[in-house]
Amino acid sequence: MRVLLFTGKGGVGKTTTAAATAVALARAGRKVLALSADPAHSLGDAFAVRLDGTPAEVAPDTFPGLFAAHIDTRALVDEAWEPLRTQLRTLLAGAGVDEMVADELTVLPGVEELLALEDVRRATVDGPWEVVVVDCGPTAETLRLLALPEALGSYLERLFPTHRRAVRGVLAGLSGSSATVARWDAAAASLSRLAEQLAGLRALLADHRTTTIRLVLTPERVVAAETRRTLTALALHGLHVDGMIANRLVPDAGRGRGEAATWVRARRAEQEAVLADLVGAGGDVPVRRVPHHAGEPVGVDALAVLADTLYGDDDPLDGPVGRALVAVRRTAGTGTHPESEFVLDLHVSGIGEAEVDLARIGDELAVTVDGRRRAVALPPVLRRCEVTGADLSDDLLSVVFRPDRSVWMT
């Protein structure tokens, strides 16, 4: 099973390239589901078919095995989140919380995006598909979407660390009615299921063998700059980008003369310079090139032609293997020696050119890169250590830890 997530700055052609990739995979005999998680829902326009929340076969005669659907976030909210929110709102009101305050306390920012991502996970785990191709929203929305499971999972773990057992244990000692205890128990069970879903989402996104991201861009300096920041932000969250697609390259003017040919040569030279910088920033992430076509690729036949240009004879699933975000190594001492030293290495693409801030918060190391923060859970041995230094070079941030003698093992 594979999951391919396509994103990029608005208007660069991510929906078209996602659809073309789905066509290429179906043509190779794979059973593919193309999902639109973009609120704009233009995937159906690319396939030239009407789509809704139920997977439908796009072109059964031409490309059997190619299915597509739009994720209906409103229906997901009504079905999955609203019942839990109603339970919590009722319980808070019963505990004496003002009704309006209770209503505000049960608002979960990003719930629609979270449920959309859960729909992707469900299709991956429960569906008959070999590949799920997801047309995500623009870059900023996608970064927020992919960071949600970890952020909300951490929030729930702090708020309800033992869920059902803790809630029932507290209420069992109170004089409340059995009906009240039952309502609390139902809410706690729902929260436990939500926590399990979040854990499943985090596991899916962190599995680099299953889930990879494709960044679509046009070779313009503003777009390339955003792409470089996106590479860094995704790497910071432990997400794997296995390819970039440079779309709409102007043709080579050759020896043509005249103003048009001069303009095309200048534009192509500028695009090549941008791509050269991007290749350097992306490390081992391959960049595929797509020329600017005169006609808009709409419909499966046109998308198949685009797929030929995009992948040729290559397998669309091929890409570099991701590496772990965090690695720990000992650089001094053995066993529980108090003069031991450890280094926590974080491999983050482009971090050497970014503004980086570190903070130790309990058992976590908060890493902020260009304004985006990731809380990295420290391994047990480092929780008994203190940060004594850090080094930043290229794509590697190395944080030095030494034993905190007040809590270190002796």
Mean pLDDT throughout 168-172?
A: 49
Sign of the CA dihedral 312, 317, 321, 324?
Answer: positive
The distance between the two most distant Cα atoms of the chain, rounded to a whole number of Å, is: 90
Point out which residues pair with 396 in neighbouring strands. Answer: 347, 393
**Rg of the chain on CA atoms, in Å:** 25
Mean pLDDT throughout 282-306?
A: 87
pLDDT band at 237; cut points 50, 70, 90: confident
Mean pLDDT throughout 182-204?
A: 73
Does residue 278 contact residue 224 with C-beta atoms inside 8 Å? Answer: yes
Could you give the CA distance from residue 92 to residue 70 in angstroms, rounded to a whole number?
Answer: 35
* Pairing of β 2-8 and β 131-138: parallel
Mean pLDDT throughout 14-40?
A: 93
Range of lowest pLDDT (80-89, 289-298, 389-398): 80-89
pLDDT band at 180; cut points 50, 70, 90: low
Does residue 218 contact residue 247 with C-beta atoms inside 8 Å? Answer: yes
Does residue 217 contact residue 9 with C-beta atoms inside 8 Å? Answer: yes
How many helices (H) and strands (E) in the chain? 13, 15
Could you give the CA distance from residue 181 to residue 176 in angstroms, rounded to a whole number?
Answer: 7
Give every CB contact of residue 142 below 8 A, 6+ residues apart in sequence.
5, 7, 136
Could you give the CA distance from residue 267 to residue 272 in angstroms, rounded to a whole number?
Answer: 9
The predicted-structure confidence for 371-404, as pLDDT tens digits, reads as follows: 888 888 888 889 999 999 998 887 889 999 999 9
| Token output for 282 | 């992306």
The predicted-structure confidence for 102-111, as pLDDT tens digits, reads as follows: 554 445 555 6
Looking at beta carbons, which pairs linking 85-91 to residues 24 or more positions away fall under 8 Å?
Answer: 87/183, 87/186, 87/187, 87/190, 88/187, 90/183, 91/183, 91/184, 91/187
Mean pLDDT throughout 79-92?
A: 60
What are the two backbone dihedrals, phi and then psi, of residue 10, each rounded to the nearest 5 degrees? -55, 135
Q: Which of 75, 78, 68, 60 is nearest to 123 (CA)?
A: 68
- More reliable by pLDDT, 261 or 57: 57
Range of lowest pLDDT (7-11, 75-79, 234-238): 75-79
Could you give the CA distance from residue 195 to residue 156 in angstroms, rounded to a whole number?
Answer: 7
User: To the nearest whole number, what is the mean pLDDT of the chain?
Assistant: 81
Burial class of residue 253 (count of CB atoms within 10 Å of its CB; 0-12, 13-18, 19+): middle
The predicted-structure confidence for 309-345, as pLDDT tens digits, reads as follows: 999 999 999 988 877 778 899 999 888 888 899 999 9
Mean pLDDT throughout 23-45?
A: 91
Q: Give the model's pLDDT for residue 97.
A: 52
Alpha-carbon separation of residue 85 from 7, 195, 373 (angstroms): 31, 15, 28
pTM higher than 0.95: no
Q: Which of 356, 359, 357, 283 is nearest to 323 (CA)?
A: 283
The predicted-structure confidence for 248-274, as pLDDT tens digits, reads as follows: 988 877 777 788 888 888 888 888 888
Q: Give the model's pLDDT for residue 74.
A: 61
Mean pLDDT throughout 207-227?
A: 90
Mean pLDDT throughout 62-76?
A: 82
Does residue 44 contact residue 68 with C-beta atoms inside 8 Å? Answer: yes
Q: Give the model's pLDDT for residue 83.
A: 60
Sign of the CA dihedral 294, 298, 300, 301?
Answer: negative
pLDDT band at 154; cut points 50, 70, 90: confident
Q: Which of 40, 32, 30 is nearest to 7 (CA)?
A: 40
Give every CB contact of residue 112 below 8 A, 6+ residues apart in sequence.
73, 74, 76, 77
CB atoms within 10 A of CB 177: 10
